Every structure is written in C-alpha cells, then in structure tokens.
Structure 1
Amino acid sequence: MTPARLQVLACALLCLACGIVDAIGFLRHGIFAANMTGNTVLLGITVAQGDWAQALGRLLPLGAFFLGAMTARATLRRRDARAWIPLVLEAVLIGVAAWLIGHPQVSLFVIAFAMGLQASAVTRFGGVALSTVVITSTMARIAERALDRLTGHASAPARGTAQPPRGLHALTWICYVAGALVAALGAHESVPAMALAAFMVLAAAWTTRREQKVEPS
C-alpha cells in the first residue's frame, strides 16, 4: 500500500474513533469529548445562566483537551519523534477511560485529554492539513468541491499546495457520522464502543508507523 493510501486509512480510522467517543461523551455527560467548539458554546451558556458548578464541568474537557494537545506537541518536538507515539498513548487512555466509566468526571477528563493528543499528533493526510477531531472546516471544503464539480470551474491549487486525494474530505465526514452511529446504537453499553475506538486508534498508529517507514526520503 502506498504512503498516500496509508494516510487516508489512518485518517478514516481516527475519524471513526473520534465520532464514537464524541457521541459517548455527549450521550452520557452532555459534553463533547472532542468538539471543543460545542463545549465552548455550552460554557458560555452556563456562565450566562449563572450556573457556576455546571460551568466548571464545561471547563473540565476544555482544559484536558488543551493539555493533551500540548503533550502531543511536546512529544513531537523530540528529534526522533514519530506521530504514532502519541496515538498509542491515546489508545491506552481511551481504554483507561472505558475502565473508569463509572467515574464520569475522571473518565471525561481522560478521554478529552486523549482527543487533544489526537488533534495534534497527526494533522496532515494526503499532503493536506485536515483535522480528525472537528468536522466544520471539512464541511466547508466538501461544499467548495461540490460547487466546483457542479459548475465545472475547479480552481487550480496554489503553487506548492498539494491536492487532497479524491473524496478524502467526504470520507472523513462519513467516518465521523459512522462512529457516532455506532456509539448511539450501543449507548446502553459504552465500554465495548470505547474499546472499539481504542482499537481503531491503535490501528491508526500502526498504519502511521508503517507509512513513515515506506515513505520515500
């Protein structure tokens, strides 16, 4: 398998995992594990309502996500750093969060930290910047490409800018929805879904490691 295809596979696996844990966070706690835009809005609402205890609860995943992203960044600054290392740590933490599911606040902190790791561990797929923990910008890219196809006026990429693999943005959206669907269908039993998410992240780590080995120097 070519490096580009391995990157697409890793992207799909990470989006599936993120869809699962984001849905579980919302269904169980009313808070997103990865969607910090949504959590920021919820924080503003609770502050406006004067519900300070609830506002503190909204701050928890925001802080954990922030720390997770910082940790991934610090790890990748090492000379011999590899993107798969934070992903392995993320998979372990998702498993820990599943084990701690009976302790909501602790579990939520751990899972949000794990999503922060994912957000900063791998940020480029197929030569283009793409997030696997938020879908808003991806939707904008899908809309742009849909219009280009409908009108036949696709703009040429800027010099030095890579073209994403065909269908990559749509694939990330589909995988995110599919992950949320899996979590919602198994909402009465979240541990197996979280274990599946951990396995997917571990598979993405293996795929990323393999891609880095076969990538031409």
Structure 2
Amino acid sequence: MHVVLREARDTLVPDMDGPHGPLPPVLLALTVVSGLVDAFSFLLLGHVFVANMTGNVVIMGFALAGAPGFSTAASTVALVSFAAGALAGGITMHLGRAHRGRRLLHALLVQSAFVTAALVVTLLSGGPYTGGARFTLVVLLGLGLGVQNASVRALGVPDLTTTVLTRTLTGAVADSLLARGPGSRAGRRVLSAAAMLAGAFVGAVTALHVHPALPLLCALAVLTGAAVAIGVLSRGDALWTRPDPGK
C-alpha cells in the first residue's frame, strides 16, 4: 500500500526536475475536464459523448439496432468533430516540437476557445438543447476534446491519457505484482480513474441540480488554471520541456 501512496504522491506533487515535470497533475486536471464535458453532453445533449469516442461507437451500434434514446447522427457528428479537433491539435503540437510546455499551452488555449464558445451557446440558447443548438454544442466540444487528446498523446506521459481508462485500469491489475508483473503503477492509474469520476460526478450534479451551463464553466475554469500554470512553469528550459526528455 505504501508504494501505491508514494506513486499517487509523486503524481500529484511531481519532481519538477524529472522528465515530465508538472505534466502529471496538469493531465489529471484535464481528466477532470473530460468527465465534466461528458457528463454535460451525455445528460443534456441526448446520450452522446464528446470525449469518450469508444462510448460513441457503442452508442452508434445501439442506435443502428433501433434502441430508443440514441442518435446515429449525434454520435457521427461527435466522431467527426473529435477527429477534426485531433487534427488541429496534432498540427498545433507538431509545429511547436521544440518545447513541450509551449506546445501544451497552445493546445490548452485552442481547447479553451472551443469550450468558451460552447458555454456561450449554452447560455444563449437555453435548454432543452435540441436541433441546431444541440449539434453546435456537440461540434464545439468534440473539437475541443479532440485537441486535448492529440496534445496528451504527443506529450507521452505514461498512464495519463485523460479519456481512455480501460487500458489504464487493465494495467493497474495485469501489471501488478499479484499477477507477477513488473509493477502496476496503481497509484497514478487509480488517480486517473478518480479524476474522471470526480469530473463526471461534479458535472452531473451541477448540470441536473444547479445550472446546465455550470459543467462547462467548471471545465473552462480548470483549463484556465492549467494554462496559467503551464504558462508560468514553461518559461525556462527544464528537462521536461524538451522534446525527448529521457535523453
């Protein structure tokens, strides 16, 4: 247990001189964002995900089978928007290859712009979100989360994908000493799942019981905090800012 707690501590309070510097807690914050926006989209936009594309593929299968309450069109729009956002995020990250901190900062600013636009649409259109407003929100949030996923992929921090938890949780068990593996890094992996759970919980509570726009406002606040932190911490040339920090 002490190993798990040490791994969790090292993720939340990382070695700033290490190969990933402040990136682990920032990526945990982005995992919370994923939970927030997926809670908003699934609960208020008609059973569609904007961060979890595996879920959208499954939902599309339900819709094609005629299951009530699911939309092939909404899932398709989310998938296409996410892919377009991933393309934009990939371009953003690859153009700034020389400095990981600046690459992430640029991606966070682009993602924040999409979430801000979605927040404005939410406030102006009012619920329930149907028709053009619904699809506009799916597009904007899908674009934003595509950018996020592309940037996280380019950074390559182990076990912190910000959206895909199946592989993370599998590794926590399959790589454990109990399974005769090399070590599960369970502390970091459990934190990742907990961050997603926390974001989904807060998103659901605020969307259903406070105000439908509040999950997006919370997501924007987290993104702003992450952007400010990375902007301040990436001014130097520490090891973690290099394209290949392990070398």
- TM bin, normalised by shorter chain, reads 0.7 to 0.9
The residue aligned with 1:87 is: 108
Give the corresponding residue for 1:11. 27
Partner residue, 2:223: 201
- The one-character-per-residue Cα deviations of 1:62-96 (angstroms, maximum 9, x if unpaired) are 11000000001112221556122011111121121
In the TM superposition, residue 126 of structure 1 has moved relative to its aligned partner by 8.1
Which secondary structure state, in structure 2, belongs to the residue aligned with residue 213 of structure 1?
coil
Alignment CA distance shift 1:14-1:67 (3 Å): same
1:166-205 correspondence to structure 2 within 5 Å? 167-188=187-208, 189-205=211-227
Quote the offset at 1:130 in angstroms: 3.4
Question: CA distance change for structure 1 residues 124 and 212 in 2, over 3 Å: closer, same or farther?
Answer: farther
CA distance in 1 between counterparts of 2:190 and 2:92 reads 30
**Structure 1 residue 117 corresponds to structure 2 residue 144:** no
- Hey, what does 2:118 align to over in structure 1? 97
Q: In the alignment, does 2:138 pair up with 1:138? A: no
Q: Which residue of 2 aligns with 1:74?
A: 91
Contact 1:123 1:129 in 2 (8 A): no
Deviations 1:108-164 (Å, cap 9, x if unpaired)? 11011100000001236784263112211111122234x42x46x4427xxxxxx96
CA contact (8 A) 1:7 1:211 kept: no
Give the Cα separation in 1 of the matches to 2:141 and 2:88: 14
Once superposed, which parts of structure 1, at least 4 consecutive aligned residues long, lie more than 6 Å away? none
Q: Summarize deviations over 1:181-213 as a string: whole Å, max 9, x none.
A: 101111231212211111212222333442573
User: Is there any run of 5+ residues in structure 2 with no aligned partner, and where?
Assistant: 1-14, 126-132, 243-247
Structure-1 residue corresponding to 2:236: 213
Amino acid at match of 2:153: T
Give the C-alpha shift of residue 12 in structure 1: 1.3
Equivalent pair of 2:207/2:213 in contact (CA under 8 Å): no
- Letter matched to residue 155 of structure 1: P
Letter in 1 for 2:238: E
Q: Any conservation in 1 of the 2:34–2:145 contact (CA below 8 Å)? A: yes
State the aligned residue count.
206
Contact 2:24–2:157 (CA<8 Å) still a contact in 1?
no
Unaligned runs of 5+ in 1: 157-162
Amino acid in the other structure paired with 1:41:
V
- The alignment yields a C-alpha RMSD, in angstroms, of 2.7
For 1:170 and 1:202, locate their aligned partners in 2 and report how far apart those are by CA, in whole Å. 25
TM-score, structure 2 normalization: 0.74
Distance 2:157 2:114 in 1: 28
Are 1:41 and 2:58 counterparts? yes
CA contact under 8 A between 1:91 and 1:202: conserved in structure 2? yes
Show the counterpart of 1:57: 74
Q: Distance in 2 between matches of 1:6 and 1:45?
A: 40
Q: Tell me whether 119-128 or 82-91 shows the greater mean CA deviation.
A: 119-128
